[in-house]
Amino acid sequence: MGHTLKRSTIYFQPEIHKALRLKAVSTLRSMSEIVNDAVRQALKEDQEDLAAFDERSSEPVMSYEELLNNLKANGRL
């Protein structure tokens, strides 16, 4: 982590904290490294989701009611 680090206080549920502490020990990584990697992964997934929404933005939109009516009309309900 060669960048300037920022300190933050995070409150974990006791069982989550224990699991994180044990994982840090067993993987020879710091708790900060594990949390940073998990947050980075979550942000990456958000970015991928937003890209998927953008790709599908031109697709037609159907309301839930229309979907149910189509399913019923096609004998699927």
Q: Identify whether 64 is part of a domain.
A: no
CA pair distance 37, 55, nearest whole angstrom: 27
Whether residue 2 is contained in a domain is answered as no
The structure tokens listed for 54 are: 């953008």
Instruction: Report the C-alpha gap between 75 and 77 in whole angstroms.
Output: 6
Find the domain containing 21 and state its range: 16-57
- Extract the residue ranges of the chain whose pLDDT is less than 50: none
Q: Is residue 30 part of a domain?
A: yes
Q: According to the model, what pLDDT value does residue 1 have?
A: 52
Is 69 inside a domain boundary? no
Query: Residue 71: inside a domain, yes or no?
Result: no
Domain count within the chain: 1
Asked if residue 54 lies in contact with residue 47, where contact means CB atoms within 8 angstroms, the answer is no
The whole-number pLDDT of residue 12 equals: 97
Report the C-alpha gap between 40 and 11 in whole angstroms. 18
